[in-house]
Structure 1
């Protein structure tokens, strides 16, 4: 790599090559401010790695951050894969060839809206193993992963053999309830050192808790992730605070994740960031069964297959307007070079006044060698122009922009005596006798005491002026990104624009070939209660549960803990798909009686990548499957006869209905207690829960033959799943909730339960389904869309695709169907039309068939709902 150089703060050794201190990042040849784009090999076809890396480099960014997902490489316990699209070593080598640095992030937990946050699903099968804890069982498994991943990184460290300049341990640990952060991070650090990692080890804080992210472990550098409101006026003082905190440790501010908008990135730069890594600038795809579940919903939702948050490159590689913004910011950074890289954040010594919304406390950088770089954000929208007064000089500022204005900057490094007193626009090039600015509004420049105003340039029409012997050039942003060189007389030479590619018109595909066969199932045994899919060897994919249940006298069933996607058929009637993240569901079966067949097809969308206690399937490490199906034998209202404890309630304890105590102590906790006896397993339903409440369960009453004195357990009940499971016996239940004068409308209901038992299981993991989809299929019947299906019916379709240079976007148009697609020997993803949960990420209605991925096979499944399941048409469009 032909890049400048640097070393690591207090813990740096001479051969390390990278140094961090309070003034920034130093490479072997000098200091650099680093712009870094997220780019993930596991979300792209291998054939496109080089082009995407080159695209990042052409944006002006000099670094990519790369997660290494553990469960992408350990596909089953002890089965490792680093070939094909999993060849991370080849990806790192390509990054070096393209002139990019790399920040490697091997976890073990990565989040990244990826299946389980990259923690293998089978870890949850060991009840003693506790993920992300200083716990021997978990650390043993982490050791096996690090033994595979870390040598690949150690072999490719900068400057000796590769591009890796930092290695991140863990990810946003301050979001997680880790009991021994210091012990845990120490164990990870020691493993990295054992494998020869000598570049800086970093750990990022997700919500500003530096100690919570790093455990304050020596040798682990704190980094920060900021996701502010882009329009907030208060970004600068928050960021400056962290820059100051880290400077006290003689460390720079490394922003390892943040928003993608360059107006915000400029504000972060001016507030002291030495590394700025917006997430996610270069988008990709969650192929196969790799999206996560449980992202930012009410309370959870499913991650789409298109992994796109509006970064400067779309999932299919299209450059968006922010791409040009990146190139201009990179030119500013390159023009100021080491002076900017060694700068120190400060508050401007003279006030800045504006007639537009701006920062509550603007930031500036005190440049090495003198002068300031002042950020003046215009937080208004639209196309208007505002006026700011800087050092008493009025200047124009475009709406929705943040020019980086040089103030009192010595011009000596560019061969000119004197000072650039003020420039109201980005300085994108400088040489002997000439300064070049980028702006879409008029530019005010003061050199020494001489001021000029340059008219707003238009694309293809540079504007020029002279002041104090300097030639000043103003370029429109569209020209600034193409700037190749500038002469002393202000003549500019631009790179030729890339030819625009014509997008092909969308195509409606109405013909397909339906296979006679359906995918085989792997027998997975008989079980008293439904097992988890992971215990059947299905870590990604689906399974089927079958039994016969006697529903004589049963009006409803209770389904507890089912996730992710459950298609339940009872007595031949398909029920609407359940996708409730494990929330308890009541199922009306009054029309079914006597022995009836019950079948459940359960598909894993993905494992939770956050840790959310509100629902069972949202917990990090939670397993998937049918859960438990219960017959409801009896229902009783138990809202009355609760003892009141707390506030001024005396002895003997008053008896009230649940939530019915009257008190002036609004919002303070009050506890209601009563004894509940049940001869069978039961479920207590707390109806009307709004705010979370604490529920404790302990053995109650005198010791008798039928009394269960279980250990005292305490849990939090949420509105999303207001149920408390109870074994047979006598229990003393205590409910603690914030007092509400009106009682809050709480009711309590007790359901006596019998389990539905004797299940026969079969499994279809992703390897089995992919193998069936990609093998030759004899005996096909041509069908013409639309194709109607019964609820629960499936159809396997082979579809001919037109040739495409850039790949194709596939939009299945239909109602009450789920469509899974395969091409090029891989599952490309799934689309769900009709009644479905919330999705996040990119476009949840589209699949991408990359160029060169031949063939298309679809599995279409009908689901019960308000409309008839039907695949109407397949819409194909170019992915330009």
Structure 2
């Protein structure tokens, strides 16, 4: 009977202990026709496992509308993984993070004000159950022991980052649903910052796993990882590192410190097709994720192998060579190391099953160095971390020391991988072997291969002859081809009317979960010098009285808009585009909260502004009764950094906004003794209802700090909005259609706010195209093969992360390329000068 289980010793598959290298590979970020090729590429790297998220909102695109076909056919993907000989760790969420739209939580969940995501709450769990009812049967049919290769199923993802009120109840509900659907392989839950109970709720039957993202050059990785290996061992389970950095020197350090599963994120890259990237992750405080999803792993987004791919093959061969001895090894701190280069002060060694040790010697510097191991000086290459054998019993001999990776062994033959000379001590006799050298010592043939050849090692003969696979052919970088003529469509994409509304509705409430919407209102701006926009996300192109303003992308932060040159009754137009919902729960800005909705927010007319920086009473430190009155931040005290509260009464007959101008460090504001909110540089505003309020501001005392100024803005909301929407399906259908066009020779100049639909003829290519633009002040969305292939923002733009933000990828055999170009206000004229077509090496 085929089985898998985990215990304090490790991972057991069919009764055999295993240590696994695992690469993330996501079907939803690749063309379906490339699935098998990428799976085979991972297997050829020596990795035996993949982990794969299953994004809920990729399969349920609207409430109750499910799809598991085409690129969404996850069952077919899992079947291919089994055919390619790969184990699978399936991660169905419900929340996945993964820099994906909303962390895979459907956007419409935010429309129910009583539904609370990632909580033990009935409305949310009802929705999760509907998702699990769809996806868990697919996994149960493909789990190990039932004809498939799924060896673990992850419940939730890094819950210890989230303020979940009832972790045991929530995780119990997820576990019980998985068991009800017949999941028998281990259920795991990963901790994002080391809080094992926070990730699992300490629920029976849920195995805690760890995600580590250390500084690769940190000397303290070993001590941290060994601590967690000991903690999970107390719970009777192995250390499963479900996410970590990609550098193989770091992976070796994790292995030597006790990890039994090592899953660097992200080894095999891909693409965020469509409107699927998240927004808000890792920024200051927010940014946008690019459509290229690439963090420098061993396979690029277009499928090219980086040099790290060969490092993966060497490490995999080391692990295969040591086999069960390594899989059952115990990590310990190693004290017998002396180095002339920077290294860990507490290096790790593996006590091998059957005797001997593997000592990890990380070289954290950039120059060649020497380590003294067991009293023997040995060379260590910079940036390396060889796993050195110490006192390992062999058949009829003892390998006292080998200063390099052992990548193959047979009767009387040991093959090492190293880019510096190797020291071997066998039965007390010492020898030095140069790179590409061989020697016989105590009847054993010792062979040293450079790492590039060791990565291609196929087999070794009894006489020490090694056989290599052919060297990979590195594709040459192809020259870019310029496209200077396009066809501009006469027609523009239709809009669907979305009614009249007193206040701007969210796009999700209009049925747009990905896409964009248009808002229009007429209002009187007589004696109004400024507008205040609050709660807008993601990208707002605002036009007031025919004047287009630069795009607003503040993740819900308030933005003041100068309209001093405008008077009388004017028309206001806003086009709001969803880039993606937040995939993390970040309280600093409204749109960065998990589950936050998108749309125009509220547009206010600023009627007048009053300075309220004076007349604040002081509470705290030694301030007595009656409370002293000072300007905000004006109290003098020796209690540096101790919190101090200032309170005053403010009044406005209309809704108002308290603006704390010049905030440097975050501070807390409460109104009428309500729940405090955090105010900081990126969002120094607090909205108030009409009337009289007592406002309290608490900030750490800083004698020489700059105190914020306080001003109160009286507001009047702009009302009576007409709306129209274009969701992603409407836009994609229009892009795939045909219509009247005219030939246009580039450069193409656009006015701010103007849009142009452009059809581009692509020559046939078996490799696909990376499309780049020589352009300024233009946002471009591209479609090919019936799908949106991404968006590029040229010119002044917010921060981007996650991959190459400047290219669109048109996969091989995806016909046609249609672009929607939008001119945006800023420095310079919106213009597309040239389109450049490059290959996968571009």
Using the size of structure 2 for normalisation, the TM-score is 0.99
Q: 2:228 aligns with which of 242, 250, 254?
A: 242
**Are 1:523 and 2:468 an aligned pair?**
no
**Are 1:726 and 2:688 an aligned pair?**
yes
1:378 to partner: Cα distance = 0.6
1:535 to partner: Cα distance = 0.5
| Cα deviation code 1:496-550 (max 9, x no counterpart) | 2234444432101111000000000000000000000000111000000001111
CA distance in 1 between partners of 2:737 and 2:3 (Å): 50
Match of 2:121 in 1: 135
Q: 1:168 aligns with which of 154, 157, 161?
A: 154
CA distance in 1 between partners of 2:791 and 2:651 (Å): 47
Match of 2:814 in 1: 853
Match of 2:369 in 1: 386
Q: SS of 1:107's equivalent?
A: coil
**Are 1:55 and 2:41 an aligned pair?**
yes
Q: 1:202 aligns with which of 176, 188, 199?
A: 188
**Are 1:692 and 2:645 an aligned pair?**
no
Match of 1:598 in 2: 572
Match of 1:701 in 2: none
Structure 1 outlier segments of 4+, above 6 Å: none
1:159 to partner: Cα distance = 2.4
Match of 2:698 in 1: 736
**Are 1:816 and 2:799 an aligned pair?**
no
**Are 1:616 and 2:580 an aligned pair?**
no
1:663 to partner: Cα distance = 1.0
Match of 2:337 in 1: 352
**Are 1:191 and 2:177 an aligned pair?**
yes
1:435 to partner: Cα distance = 0.4
Q: 1:280 aligns with which of 239, 244, 266?
A: 266
Q: 2:562 aligns with which of 580, 583, 588?
A: 588
* C-alpha contact 2:2 2:13 (8 A) present in aligned 1: no
**Are 1:566 and 2:540 an aligned pair?**
yes
CA distance in 1 between partners of 2:627 and 2:616 (Å): 9
Paired residues for 1:67-82 under 5 Å: 67-82=53-68
* C-alpha contact 2:486 2:761 (8 A) present in aligned 1: yes
Match of 1:780 in 2: 741
Match of 1:791 in 2: 752
| Cα deviation code 1:146-186 (max 9, x no counterpart) | 00011100110102210100000000000011111111101
Unpaired runs of at least 5, structure 1:
1-14, 458-462, 699-710
**Are 1:514 and 2:488 an aligned pair?**
yes
Match of 1:375 in 2: 360
CA distance in 2 between partners of 1:558 and 1:504 (Å): 50
Match of 1:405 in 2: 388
Match of 1:707 in 2: none
Match of 1:8 in 2: none
| Cα deviation code 1:83-107 (max 9, x no counterpart) | 0000000000000000000000000
Match of 1:761 in 2: 723
Higher deviation after alignment, 478-487 or 524-533:
478-487
CA distance in 2 between partners of 1:181 and 1:691 (Å): 32
1:29 to partner: Cα distance = 4.1
| Cα deviation code 1:759-787 (max 9, x no counterpart) | 0000000000000000112x211000110
1:739 to partner: Cα distance = 1.1
Q: 1:433 aligns with which of 397, 412, 415?
A: 412
CA distance in 2 between partners of 1:41 and 1:563 (Å): 29
Higher deviation after alignment, 76-85 or 714-723:
714-723
**Are 1:396 and 2:379 an aligned pair?**
yes
Match of 1:151 in 2: 137
Match of 1:708 in 2: none
| Cα deviation code 1:64-101 (max 9, x no counterpart) | 00000000000001100000000000000000000000
CA distance in 2 between partners of 1:754 and 1:30 (Å): 71
Q: SS of 1:670's equivalent?
A: strand
* C-alpha contact 1:21 1:251 (8 A) present in aligned 2: yes
Q: SS of 1:795's equivalent?
A: strand
CA distance in 1 between partners of 2:429 and 2:525 (Å): 92
Q: SS of 1:819's equivalent?
A: strand
**Are 1:446 and 2:446 an aligned pair?**
no
* C-alpha contact 2:2 2:14 (8 A) present in aligned 1: no
| Cα deviation code 1:786-839 (max 9, x no counterpart) | 100000000000000122111110001100000000000000000000111000
* C-alpha contact 1:385 1:441 (8 A) present in aligned 2: no
Q: SS of 2:226's equivalent?
A: helix
1:712 to partner: Cα distance = 3.0
* C-alpha contact 1:430 1:436 (8 A) present in aligned 2: yes
| Cα deviation code 1:261-281 (max 9, x no counterpart) | 000000000000000000000
Match of 1:841 in 2: 802
Q: SS of 1:240's equivalent?
A: helix
Q: SS of 1:763's equivalent?
A: strand
CA distance in 1 between partners of 2:716 and 2:380 (Å): 71
CA distance in 1 between partners of 2:712 and 2:767 (Å): 59
* C-alpha contact 1:515 1:798 (8 A) present in aligned 2: yes
CA distance in 2 between partners of 1:158 and 1:225 (Å): 24
CA distance in 2 between partners of 1:495 and 1:713 (Å): 66
CA distance in 1 between partners of 2:709 and 2:241 (Å): 49
Paired residues for 1:221-232 under 5 Å: 221-232=207-218
Match of 2:622 in 1: 648
1:351 to partner: Cα distance = 1.4
CA distance in 2 between partners of 1:771 and 1:545 (Å): 22
Match of 1:313 in 2: 299
User: For residues 613 and 474 of structure 1, do their structure 2 counterparts lie closer, same or farther at Cα, with a shift above 3 Å needed?
Assistant: same
1:714 to partner: Cα distance = 2.4
* C-alpha contact 1:447 1:467 (8 A) present in aligned 2: yes
CA distance in 1 between partners of 2:620 and 2:473 (Å): 75
CA distance in 2 between partners of 1:785 and 1:146 (Å): 50
CA distance in 1 between partners of 2:253 and 2:478 (Å): 40
Q: 2:397 aligns with which of 391, 398, 418?
A: 418
CA distance in 2 between partners of 1:139 and 1:856 (Å): 41
1:189 to partner: Cα distance = 0.4
CA distance in 2 between partners of 1:499 and 1:611 (Å): 44
CA distance in 1 between partners of 2:506 and 2:221 (Å): 45
**Are 1:492 and 2:453 an aligned pair?**
no
Match of 1:705 in 2: none
